[in-house]
Amino acid sequence: MANRLVHETSPYLLQHSHNPVDWYPWGSEAFERARREKKPIFLSIGYSTCYWCHVMERESFESAAVAAVMNEHFVCIKLDREERPDVDQLYMTAVQVQTHHGGWPMNVFLTPQLEYFYGGTYFPPTDLPGRTGFVSVLRAIHDAWENRNAEVARAAAQFTRILQQVEVASNTQTAHSLQPNAIAQMVMRSASDFDAQNGGFGRAPKFPRQTLLQLILAATIPESPVARELGEQAGILEQRVRATLDAMMYGGIRDQLGGAFHRYSTDAQWLVPHFEIMLYDNALLASVYLTAASRFREPRYEVVARELLDFVLAKMRTREGAFSTAIDAEVCAREGLSYLWTQQEVRQVLGSKEEGSNCSAFAHREIDTFCEVFGLTTGPNFADPHYANGQPDANILYVADVEKFHAQFDVLKRMRERLHSARDRREQPMVDLKVITSWNALMIRVLAEAGSTLSEARYLHAAEAAARFILDNHLTSEGQLRRTSRDGISKHAGVLEDYACLAEALLVLARLTGNPNWKGSAQRLVDEMLRRLHDDDGGFFFTDRNADDLIVRQKSGTDNPLPSGNAVAAQVLLKLGKRDDAQRVVAAFDSKLHSQAEAMSAMLAVSIELCGSSQFLPTQGAAAHAPPIDEGQIVSVTCTRRSATLLALTVRIAPGWHIATQVAQPGVAPTVVTLSHDPTATVRFPPPTETGAFGNSYSGEIQVEIETTIAEGELILNYQSCNATRCRGVERAFAPVPEQR
Contact 566, 554 (CB under 8 A): no
Contact 443, 312 (CB under 8 A): yes
270 exposure class (CB count in 10 Å sphere: 0-12, 13-18, 19+): buried
- Summarised one tens digit per residue, pLDDT across range 19-77 is 999 999 999 999 999 999 999 999 999 999 988 999 999 999 999 999 999 999 999 99
Q: What gap in Å lies between CA 482 and CA 524, rounded to an integer?
A: 15
**pLDDT of 213 higher than 80:** yes
**pLDDT of 242 higher than 50:** yes
Q: Give the model's pLDDT for residue 171.
A: 56
Reported as a pLDDT band with limits 50, 70 and 90, residue 620 is very low
- Summarised one tens digit per residue, pLDDT across range 469-487 is 999 999 999 999 999 999 9
What is the arithmetic mean of pLDDT over 572-581? 93
Question: Who wins on pLDDT, 537 or 305?
Answer: 305
Instruction: Describe the chain by its helix, strand, coil percentages, rounded to 5.
Output: 45, 20, 35
Q: Give the model's pLDDT for residue 542.
A: 95
The region of weakest confidence among 154-168, 193-207, 529-543, 726-740 is 726-740
pTM of model > 0.75: yes
Q: What is the DSSP string of 496-531?
A: HHHHHHHHHHHHHHHHHH--HHHHHHHHHHHHHHHH
**pLDDT of 619 higher than 60:** no
Kindly give, in sequence order, each residue whose CB lies less than 8 Å from that of residue 722, ignoring residues fewer than 6 positions away: 615, 617, 657, 658, 659, 668, 694, 728
What is the arithmetic mean of pLDDT over 591-605? 92
Give φ, ψ of 385 to 5 degrees.
-70, -10
First to last CA, the chain: 68
Q: Give the model's pLDDT for residue 168.
A: 63
Q: Give the model's pLDDT for residue 539.
A: 94
Contact 6, 84 (CB under 8 A): no
Q: Give the model's pLDDT for residue 617.
A: 27
The share of the chain scoring above pLDDT 90, in percent, equals 73
Nearest to 202 by CA among 265, 121, 250: 265
Tell how strand 646-653 and strand 682-684 pair up.
Answer: unpaired
Question: Who wins on pLDDT, 153 or 735?
Answer: 153
Q: Give the model's pLDDT for residue 358.
A: 66
Instruction: Respond yes or no on whether the N-terminal peptide bond of residue 105 is cis (omega within 30° of 0).
Output: yes
How many CB atoms neighbour CB 456 within 10 A? Answer: 17
**pLDDT of 434 higher than 90:** yes
Q: Give the model's pLDDT for residue 40.
A: 98
- Mean predicted lDDT score pLDDT of the chain: 90
- Summarised one tens digit per residue, pLDDT across range 629-671 is 344 568 989 999 988 889 999 999 988 888 988 876 656 778 8
What is the arithmetic mean of pLDDT over 412-435? 96
Query: Which domains occur in the chain, in start order?
Result: 4-166 (3.40.30.10), 338-424 (no CATH), 623-736 (2.60.40.1250)
Q: What gap in Å lies between CA 612 and CA 606, rounded to an integer?
A: 10
C-alpha distances out from residue 600 to 187, 369, 472, Å: 10, 44, 33
Q: Give the model's pLDDT for residue 227.
A: 93
Q: Give the model's pLDDT for residue 664.
A: 61
